[in-house]
Amino acid sequence: MTEKNVVTAVRDALHDEMANDERIVLLGEDVGARGGVFRISDGWMAEFGEERVIDTPLAESGIVGIAIGMALHGLLPVAEIQFADFIHPAFDQVVSEAARLRYRSNGDFGVPMVIRTPYGGGIHGALYHSQSIEAFYAHIPGIKVVVPATPGDAAGLLRSAIQDPDPVLFLEHKKTYRSIKGEVADGAYLTPIGVAEVKQEGDDLTCISYGYSLHLCLDAAHRLAEDEGASVEVVDVRTLAPLDVDTIVSSVRKTGKAMVVYEDNRTYGAGAEIASTIAEQALFDLDAPILRIGGPDIPAMPFAAPLEHYFMEPEPDHIYARMRELARA
């Protein structure tokens, strides 16, 4: 076990995978000579060579398209999109090509590709460096969407993503990069894609979350336990597509109450999918309506400190307050 933050866990796992498998190539803007804006691949161009650590032109559609072609023909590309907000020019390549090639070739070939990108707000990134993009892609069958929250999960899930025979969008919440630390097991362990984890056990209500929001939920749950003795079960979905319905539903059956918390715009987001799944499969186990807390329905995170803060936390302790309400209900 070694204590690491999220960005170090990502870097170490990616590095070890690259050292172990020559088919893995890294490509993206500034990933080579500079080592990426978050310095994840610092020094790797010298270590692995310019054929494996590739500085691309500024062209997201091209980056993803090239990665798809590499993946179709024997390599294991890990494409980096510098910030998730910049992936949209590549939407077509992901949705129309990467997600469909296996299906449309009737299994003749597939796209073993990873797209890594930092997402999420709370770091003063303003309108174009803060976005949550998971819902767009989780909607598309044929692409897996992974949203780790802890260093240990980031490492284990990234290895699984690289070894996965199908395309994976790997979303790293950039506010967790340095602020979230945790123990990471040594060795090249794999954390399976599509399996949620109960991060904290409890009996009174189930709180389902992912990414940076998960930590806000864990924090609220701890405080609620101290303040009122409430016992909250916190489920980290870890991957949005495929979604681990069993873990979610069995937790809700046990506690009888459910809340879903996420930073992305509330409407048509992950919360809608999770809440409706619970309603379909566990409605008669519920003692209270499902609570859905998402980000405000505005098109981007604004810049000014009070506005950004209000986006992330619309009322003081809002997760805590609403968790308490639900626990008391």
The token pair that represents 38 in the structure block? 């978050």
Which C-beta is closer to another protein: that of 229 or that of 306?
A: 306
The residue assigned the tokens 């379909």 is: 280
Cα torsion 115, 118, 121, 124: sign: negative
Contact status, residue 232 vs residue 207, Cβ threshold 8 Å: yes
Largest CA distance in the chain: 60
Block residue for tokens 């409706």? 276
279 interface partner picked from ligand TPP, another protein, none, CB below 5 to 8 A per type: none
Q: Which stretch binds ligand TPP (CB under 6 A): 12-20, 81-89, 99-107, 150-158?
A: 81-89
Contacts 24+ apart (CB under 8 A), 272-277: 273/138, 273/240, 273/243, 274/208, 274/237, 274/243, 274/248, 277/243, 277/245, 277/248, 277/249
Least distance (Å) between residue 37 CB and ligand TPP: 8
Q: List contacts with another protein (CB under 8 A).
A: 29-30, 32-34, 37, 55-62, 85-86, 88-89, 123-129, 296-299, 302-307, 309-311, 314
Tell me the C-alpha to C-alpha distance, in Å, between residue 179 and each of 168, 173, 183, 290. 25, 11, 14, 30
* DSSP per residue, 152-206: HHHHHHHHHHHH-SS-EEEEEETTHHHH-EEEE-SS---PPTT--EEEE--SSEE
User: CA angle 105-108-113, nearest 5°?
Assistant: 90
Nearer to another protein (CB atom), residue 55 or residue 285: 55
Q: What is the dihedral sign for C-alpha 302, 308, 312, 318?
A: negative
Q: Residue 82 interacts with ligand TPP (CB under 6 A)?
A: yes
Q: Minimum CB separation from another protein for residue 168, in Å?
A: 24
What's the rounded Cα separation, in Å, for the pair 206 and 200?
10
Min dist CB 122 to another protein, Å, is 11
Q: Which does 283 bind (CB under 5 to 8 A by kind): another protein, ligand TPP, none?
A: none
Nearer to another protein, 47 or 315 (CB): 315
Q: How far apart are CB 52 and another protein at their closest, in Å? A: 16
Which of another protein, ligand TPP, none interacts with 126 (beta carbon under 5 to 8 A by kind)? another protein
129 an active-site residue?
yes
Q: Whole-angstrom Cα distance, residue 90 to residue 296?
A: 25
Q: Which does 303 bind (CB under 5 to 8 A by kind): another protein, ligand TPP, none?
A: another protein
12 binds, among another protein, ligand TPP, none (CB under 5 to 8 A by kind): none
Q: With contacts defined by CB under 6 A, how many residues of the chain interact with ligand TPP?
A: 6
The closest residue (CB) to ligand TPP is 86
Contact of residue 14 among another protein, ligand TPP, none (CB under 5-8 Å per partner type): none
Residue tagged active-site, from 73, 129, 215, 309: 129
Contact set for ligand TPP, span 14-33 (CB under 6 A): 29
Could you say which DSSP state residue 56 is in? P
Minimum gap (Å) between residue 131 Cβ and ligand TPP: 12
Q: Residues 7, 36, 38, 60: which binds ligand TPP (CB under 6 A)?
A: 60
End-to-end CA distance of the chain: 41
Residues that bind ligand TPP (CB under 6 A): 29, 58, 60, 82, 86, 89
Q: Which residues are catalytic?
A: 129
